[in-house]
A and B are shown apart, each in its own frame.
Chain A
Amino acid sequence: MRIPVARLARGSRHSTFLPGHPIYRALQPQRWASSLSQKPGSAGVRFPGAVDSKFTNAMQFELPATYPAIPTYRALSPDGDIIDSSFTPPPDSLALSMYENMLSISIMDIIMFDAQRQGRLSFYMTSQGEEGTCVGSASALTKEDVIFCQYREAGVFAQRGYTFDDFMSQLFANKKDAGKGRNMPVHYGSSALNIHTISSPLATQIPQAAGAAYALKMQRLTDPNTPLRIVACYFGEGAASEGDFHAALNIAATRSCPVVFICRNNGYAISTPTLEQYRGDGIASRGTGYGIDTIRVDGNDILAVREVTKKAREMALQDGGRPVLIEAMSYRISHHSTSDDSFAYRAKVEVEDWKRRDNPITRLRKYLEKKDLWSDEKEAEARGRLRKECLKAFAQAEKEKKPPLRTMFEDVYEEMTPEIKAQMKQLKEVIDRYPDEYDVSEFEGGKDTLSS
């Protein structure tokens, strides 16, 4: 860190990076006086690597198996009752909208999974069983907060206002797809909603989230008028095995980044069950190891997830920022993706059991019914309406024009290189010369978009 800063200071026009500048100082982590030597006869350790440890004569290994498992917080019983009367539930209107968002995701999942099976799109991933984790946590974030997703967070998008049209445009890669048709299906992204585009390689988003949070922190230091923001980063328990996860937690902790890591522990990483994925107490136990405030929550309890995320957001912004880890427990009812048949490695009855016994949608429904906010009629009406809306968006997106031809050449680099410009010009000339050979009407703007 030291040397690059000095170099930066020389090269940069902004004196912000000069040591001595208040922002520079604020960005430096507090350093312990590591040169303090051990006092003779002291009871505690003064090693630079462990400043708070007491000496002991009893040789005692720490045995994680003897530790009690980190408890799982919940607010709503499986029957939909608020367990602790001091718990403040969200306003009814919000509870209802969260319910509808979970419902719309689950309905879209069924429709799109079948559509993939019919060959109408190449790939799809459902999020059955994890709607609560995504919708609940997203409901506790502000619009300005920045989000990194893994790939099973359709609920986060829905809760932030991503519409059926937006989903379908991405899935069918039409002209309204923000990714310009360059990604596989379900790789959504939206700059308006502050959600980074989903990237296929696993776990890469976790250190990036720490970096983005660091950027937010710096931004706030340079301009205190910017709103307080955090980064929320989603990933599965499988991704937490990648080295990136560990690097991310450590750097987020040491640089005090305002980031909330949200682990969706759904029991399976494609075919690998959690028992083969790790031996510790879930992902939560790793957070404490990195000195990160951590909580485990029942992912099927959307109210608990919301509450926990709300609090975590607050904590992440305290004292200039720090990371928080949430481990949301749930069960992946869906197959990993349309390329997977999960009944090859788990019993169908196990899945059916989970689906019936406990799932975030039915639990919130029971809560709403008990409050007289929901009924069978309303359920039927909502399901019918959402299904219709989804299918309408589906049909429209399928018919929509493709992205402009020009997008073939754009964005490989920030600006088109002379070679790429020449290629584009050449393509235009070919189409001009042989208009009958090329039907460009299905592309937005036709051949005109190729003019430089």
Chain B
Amino acid sequence: MSRLLRPASRLVSSSIARPAARNAFQSFPRVPAIVQSRGYAKESGVKEYTVRDALNEALAEELELNPKVFILGEEVAQYNGAYKVTKGLLDRFGDKRVIDTPITESGFCGLAVGAALAGLHPVCEFMTFNFAMQAIDQIVNSAAKTHYMSGGIQPCNITFRGPNGFASGVAAQHSQDYSAWYGSIPGLKVVTPWSAEDAKGLLKAAIRDPNPVCVLENELLYGQSFPMSEAAQKDDFVIPFGKAKIERAGKDLTIVTLSRCVGQSLVAAEALKKKYGVEVEVINLRSIKPLDVEAIVKSVKKTHRLLAVESGFPAFGVGAELLALTMEYAFDYLDAPAQRITGAEVPTPYALKLEQMSFPDETLIENYAKKMLRL
């Protein structure tokens, strides 16, 4: 089969401003302009992207733009990534920039951190963040702190990425949300994309950011499609860290949420509007470190009620942090105690129904909001 007909060739269709100089690592010929067409376009230029494609495009663009960027991880090259996020990148950028590693998280993560300390911009993929536990010392003690400990002489421009949180039917050791873990480390930045635009903009920003950044993706969102604006399709599209996005404006209740729970909260908000005519504001945090406290306070001033929705374990979690911040900065504006919805305090069960009940869903969010609003 022709190289051009392979699905990977779709990736190169982005309108990239090619750097004048040839990349040092580039050893593969560029794909000609013949493949510059993309799927269906809507009138406004908005196109449907899956989160997977958005991430893939972000990686491809950053690999193209900056010769210092490379990606490594288990099965990222030959196998196109365990979740196909790196599909086609090996074909396009060659095996010096898309690197398969032995099964040794602490080893390849350490190698990536070392490369970052030496000035490269590695993207370190974990098959899932559950497996990053083997390498957490490299992330927390080395990547996050070396810049500080070295007196600022050692940069650590590294991006850790991979699916985070629970997937389906993979039981306790494969179903954990690490947002709160990494979110608590000074020196790390942590982003949690929800939509395709989030995924692309945040991943690109993460790769460009001079600090170590954890991009906590969600496996269950990879295949989900979202509209991508014309601006976001460009190769210069980045989303600034520390800026939350109001996904839905409202005046009666503020839901602050992240990752997959954003979509669920939006569905719940829509249902509440339909059934009770209340307007719920849904804030997509996008990045949890830095955290956009201002957006939360501003919203609470308007709605006077706050509900945090996340899928981590309840104790010492993102929800706990959001509630504490609300209490510290917006207490006087609250008409009711701020509340949180989290995952259940249990090692994630394997049984399908128990697994479903271990994490927030649309109905639960709706019912909780209903209670808060006394509907």
A: which residues have CB within 8 A of B? 122-123, 173, 181-184, 187, 199-202, 238-239, 241-244, 269-272, 276-278, 344-345, 402, 408, 412
Contact = CB atoms under 8 A, between A and B. Distances in A.
Contacts of A238: 102-103
Interface centre among A123, A199, A271, A278 (most CB of B within 10 A): A271
A201 B100 CA distance: 19
Nearest to B104: A241
A137 to B, nearest CB: 22
A352 B350 CA distance: 35
Given A242-B103, A276-B102, A201 B133 contact: yes
Contact of A272 (B74, B106, B107, B134): B74
Interface of B: 74-75, 78-80, 82, 100, 102-107, 130-131, 133-134, 168-174, 346-347, 349-351, 354
Given A181-B350, A182-B350, A276-B100, A199 B105 contact: no
14 contacts: A122-B169, A123-B169, A181-B351, A182-B171, A182-B347, A182-B349, A183-B350, A201-B131, A202-B134, A241-B102, A242-B103, A242-B107, A269-B102, A269-B103
Contact of A242 (B134, B347, B351): B134
Given A241-B107, A276-B102, A271 B350 contact: no
Contact of B103 (A123, A199, A202): A202
Contacts of B354: 408
Contacts, number: 83
Given A182-B172, A238-B102, A412 B346 contact: yes
Nearest to B106: A243
Contacts of A344: 79-80
Contacts of A277: 102-103
Nearest to B347: A412
B101 to A, nearest CB: 8
Contacts of B347: 182, 412
Nearest to A278: B102
Contacts of A173: 350-351
A276 B103 CA distance: 10
Given A181-B349, A202-B103, 5 more contacts: A184-B169, A187-B171, A199-B173, A272-B100, A272-B102
B104 A243 contact: yes
Nearest to B173: A200
B26 to A, nearest CB: 22
Given A200-B173, A278-B102, A345 B107 contact: no
B134 A200 contact: no
A181 to B, nearest CB: 6
Nearest to A341: B79
B79 A270 contact: yes
A122 B347 CA distance: 19
A22 to B, nearest CB: 39
Contacts of B102: 238, 241, 269, 272, 276-278
B346 A345 contact: no
Nearest to A238: B103
Given A242-B105, A269-B103, A345 B350 contact: no
Contacts of B349: 181-182, 408
B79 A201 contact: no
B367 to A, nearest CB: 15
